[in-house]
Each structure stands twice: as structure tokens, then as C-alpha cells.
Chain A
């Protein structure tokens, strides 16, 4: 019973909407609600939060009746490495400069793929670093240092 619930697609979708709705309504309590005539900043979010909760409950109910299961396959490797490569890009843009940031981004994201050929990725990195520098730094004149500290 429990394990079936854990894989129930609509059950979790409903939970997700209810979660967003409740959180929004809770946070919006901190904003002035106002009245219909003079809507405060809390009016619309509270309203939306309520609608989301209602939808969430309906979707969850449908899910319990229908019992459709989550079937899509997911590559955990890609799910972890791709967002992580973006985060590293963000950090390196601040601390190390444009070129190191791109290089790490390419290598990390290539690792997320099904196949990793070192030489190929190295060549791709070379091409993309030149192309991106040409387009963004010289072409569009974005003010980022290619390499920090030099």
C-alpha cells in the first residue's frame, strides 16, 4: 500500500501543488491583505495559494482513484552533474574568470552524458572557448575578464 503510494504520479503532483499553495498562503500572511476594494500585497498570493491547494486536493484524489505510476526513466547522473556544473560556472565566473568557468562547465556537463571521450571533449572545449570568447567578449563586448588575477 505504502510503496504503491510512493510511486503514485498524481498523488505526488497533488502534494506538490498543495505544498506550494500552503507555503504561499503562509508566507503571504506576512503581507498586508487589504480589502477587495484596496487589495494589499497579500491579497492575490493568498487567493492563488487557495486555488493551488484546491487543485492539489483534486489531483491527489484523482491519483488515489487512478493509481497511475511514475514511469519515466531518469538519469541520476545527469540530474546531479548538470545543475552542479552550472553552480560551478557561477562560482568560477566570480573567482577565476570567463575561460576557467566555461572549461569546467563543458567538462562537467560532458561527464553527465552517456559517453565520455576525453580527446573529443578536449577539442570541443577548445572550439567552444574560442567561439564564446569571440562572440561574447569581443563581439558583444561583455565586460568579463578572461582570467582573473593575471
Chain B
């Protein structure tokens, strides 16, 4: 009963005119950038964060979340129609989705992708509503040692499960923690690593670092790529799947959802792992696996449900524990902090409207994607023809104004340019900036919890091992580390990533 009551409350919040509008803007912008190659949800969310300063936090979060899952949706549209994955998570959809399009069944593929995403979204909304409160309830009893160990576990697993060089990713987490503590020390007020700039006293701006690396750095990198994209479009055809199509798709949708939900909760595992895994399973389970790669509807239904379920369930650790499981979730945490909300289990108690409103809005947003976007497919495809040379100056303008408006100072602009160059350097050296962002967000909280834990234990570092829950987190961390460095697992992981 409690769940229904909470959801009812959430829908009350999400259905207000203002929040509906922001949800709509979010999914629309999300679909747009999902369709456009060369600009991803990370850059967009970072770019639009400053615009949400004057908006209530609920509306801001609803819009940013809309961008996130809208982009997922837009990415699958281009995968199916033009064999171009707009986002990495929809690479798998290209395989059978594009084949369906070539057989004149693009409309059906799009509809199945939308239905699958919607079913996955609905189930995951229920999952969050059911388990969210109990997870937060347990976490509310955590002390500083538990929090410290939990954050350590989140960061380490995110770094080693993500794609890329494991050692470098771990090092990037610690570099991120270091950048996170720039500014005045909460305890003593000492200004650390400010190099005499008073603008740094409040720390490095979250938006500054995110836009520098994920918008400016990304553009420099894209401009370095000599290849030009060619776009060929195919006809959409009928949007309505037949009864036979639906019958074939329903089981893959449910399996994909389960798969995505499981991987969604794990930090670091991007939606590409969930969708790839789902594709493999469907191929194994199929009576006639040879149909795969030639337009099998299961190959669209499963992975599309999986990546949406993954995207949605990534919100569970972020909202209930304050632990970002992916780069986008780190941006969401940053958005919360910008609005003066301390992330963690207390969000659900202190900001019930935010928590339940956001969850309800995700369901509404998914519905909007199905109802509004299928008829707009033609428009999205024509947008694909917008050349990148017109896009990136626009991204630069919106980024620059956004950063400037945060503190009304040019210093942040110079810092963004600096991080853009740093971001490029990291890319050249094969160091993924996403773990850095996760560390950056959690830096101050980790120091604070370490400090408090050691204060209570009177300087005894064994406190992290003698408290059972904290010990459990540490053991899990070590176990994952051991498993991941085993050669067999490592090879498999690289296969999937590559």
C-alpha cells in the first residue's frame, strides 16, 4: 500500500504543468542529441545545467533525467534507420534493426524499440519504488566508516568495470578526489591548491570541469577525426507491429529488462554491456539463431529494453545512497548539489517530492517518447543532415554562456579552456575522464567521512575493518578487484568492450 501511496504522491508532483513541461523539454532535447552524432548526453547535461539554476530542483532533475533517457531513445532511432549508433549503447541495435529497415520494416523496428523501452521503464519505475525506500532506510543507519567504505567500493568498482585501462581508471579516480578537495577546507577554512586565485576558494566549479572535458575536449577530438559521415536514409514504412511481431518480442523484452536492471545497479557497467549481453542471450535462446543479423525482431527488442532498464536503474544507487554509478549519474549528483541538496539516503526523507516526482516523471517521460516521438521520426532523420561544422560553434556558445553565468566571472571560462586541453591530454594518454568525474564529485564527502570516522575511533584505522557493514563493503571491493585482474575474466571484458 505504501508503494502505491508514494507513487500516487509522485505522480501528483510530476503531473504539475511546470514539471510536465520540463519533462517534455528534456525528452525532446534528449532525443535530438541522441540523433545527432558527435554530441552525447554528458556534454548536453553539463551544458544545460546552468540553465536550471533558477528552476526548482525537482523540475531541473526531471529535465536532466529526460535528456538522459531521451538520448538513449534517439540513439536507437538512428541505429535502425541509418545504421549509425547515435550513442554507444545502441551499437547492438544496428545489427538487426538496420536489417529490418532494409527489409522495409523500419517502422516496426522503431515501434518495438519504443514499446520495449517503455515496458522496461515501467518495470524499473516499480523496482525503484519498491526497493528504493528500503535501501535508503538501511543506509540511513550508516555511520562515517560505512559511508567511507561504501564510497570507496562505488568508486573502485566503477573504475574497474568500466571500459578502458583498469590501472589508469583507478588512478583517475584518485586524481578526481584530489581535484574535488581544491578550495577551502570545510573544517579549518584553509584554502588548498588555490594558487592565489580567490575564485577557487569555493572549489573548482562542477560545470566548469564537466563542460571543459565533455564538451570542449570532445569537440577538439571530433575535429581531429578526418572522416566525414555519410548518411543514407531508408523509408520508415508501417509503424504497427503485427500480432506475430509482438508475440516474438515479448519474452526478449522481459529478459532484456531483467538483464538491464541487474547491470544497472552495478557501478561502471554502461548500457552497452547490458544491451550486448541481452543480444547474446537472445541469440543463444533462439530456435533458429541464423536469423540474427538478418533482421530478427528479438535482436531489437531485447537490447533496447536492456539499455533502457540499465539507464533507469542507474538512478537507484544515485538517489538512495548518493553513489554515482556512471558519468551521467555524477552529473545528476552535481545538479543536486548545485541546488543545495546533499546527496545520500536522507534525500528521500527530506525531499520526498524530488524523489517520487522524479521517478514518476521517468514513467511519464517514457510514455511521451512513445506517443510523441514515433510520429516525429521523419523530422529526426532530416536532422541527421545538419553538418557538424554548424553544430559545434553552437555548442561552444551555449557552453560558454552557461559557465559564465554560474559565477559571473571570466575566470571559470579560462578554467574550462584549461580543462578542455587537459581532457585531450588524458584521451591521448588513454586515461578515461569518467572515473575522474566520479572521484571529483565524491572528493569532499570522502574526506569528511574519513575525518569523522577517524575522529570517533580516536585515530584507529582498523575501525573500517571492525565494523561489519564497512568490512563487507571492503571485502566486496577486494573480491571484485581480484576477479577482474584474473586473466580469463579480463580477456572476456576486453572482448565485450571492444
Contacts and interface: CB of A to CB of B under 8 A. Distances in A.
B245 interface: no
Nearest to A82: B220
Contact of A132 (B398, B416, B459): B398
Contacts of B219: 78, 82, 109
B178 A106 contact: no
Contacts of A86: 216, 396, 400, 413-414, 416-417, 420
B429 A113 contact: no
B210 to A, nearest CB: 15
* Interface-central residue, A36, A89, A101, A140, by most chain B CB under 10 Å: A89
Contacts of A83: 216, 417-418, 420-421
Contacts of A132: 397-398, 401
Interface in B151-198: 167-168, 170-171, 174-175, 177-178, 181, 185, 187-188, 190, 192-193
A113 B223 contact: yes
Contacts of A112: 220, 223
A31 to B, nearest CB: 6
B416 A72 contact: no
A140 B429 contact: no
Contact of B192 (A31, A39, A115): A31
Nearest to A85: B396
Contact of B428 (A38, A70, A87): A70
A27 interface: yes
Contact of A74 (B167, B224, B405): B224
Interface residues of B, number: 62
Contacts of B471: none
Given A109-B396, A128-B394, A136-B405, A114 B167 contact: no
B390 interface: yes
Given A79-B220, A86-B420, A124-B390, A45 B192 contact: yes
B179 to A, nearest CB: 9
A45 B174 contact: no
B283 interface: no
A6 interface: no
A111 to B, nearest CB: 10
Contact of A55 (B174, B405, B429): B174
A28 B450 CA distance: 18
B216 A90 contact: no
Nearest to A37: B459
Contacts of B294: none
Nearest to A135: B51
At the interface, is chain B mostly helix, strand, loop or mixed? Answer: helix
Interface in B372-426: 388-390, 392-394, 396-398, 400-401, 404-405, 410-411, 413-414, 416-418, 420-421, 424-425
A49 B178 contact: yes
Contact of B461 (A9, A36, A41, A101): A36
B413 A52 contact: no
B54 interface: yes
A112 B414 CA distance: 18
B420 A10 contact: no
A113 B392 CA distance: 9
A148 interface: no
Interface string B221-236: 0011110000000000
A105 B400 contact: yes
A115 B223 CA distance: 10
A79 B417 contact: no
Contacts of B431: 13, 16
B160 to A, nearest CB: 13
B421 A124 contact: no
Contacts of A84: 417
B493 interface: no
A11 to B, nearest CB: 9
B101 to A, nearest CB: 30
Contact of B413 (A38, A40, A90, A124): A90
A52 B175 contact: yes
A38 B219 CA distance: 45
Interface in A58-90: 58-59, 62, 68, 70, 72-75, 77-79, 82-87, 89-90
B223 A27 contact: no
A113 B178 contact: no
Given A32-B188, A109-B393, A115-B389, A70 B429 contact: yes
B401 A41 contact: no
Contacts of B16: none
Contacts of A72: 224, 427-428
A69 to B, nearest CB: 11
A35 interface: yes
Given A73-B225, A83-B418, A114-B226, 13 more contacts: A16-B429, A37-B454, A41-B188, A48-B181, A62-B167, A82-B216, A83-B216, A86-B413, A87-B414, A89-B404, A110-B389, A110-B393, A114-B223
17 contacts: A20-B175, A24-B193, A27-B192, A31-B192, A49-B178, A62-B167, A70-B428, A72-B428, A78-B223, A82-B216, A83-B421, A102-B400, A106-B393, A114-B223, A128-B394, A132-B401, A140-B405
The 7 closest A-B pairs by CB, nearest first: A37-B459, A90-B410, A90-B413, A83-B417, A36-B459, A55-B171, A78-B223
Interface of A: 9-10, 12-13, 16-17, 20, 24, 27-28, 31-32, 35-41, 43-45, 48-49, 51-52, 55-56, 58-59, 62, 68, 70, 72-75, 77-79, 82-87, 89-91, 93-94, 101-102, 105-106, 109-110, 112-115, 117, 120-121, 124, 128, 132, 136, 140, 142
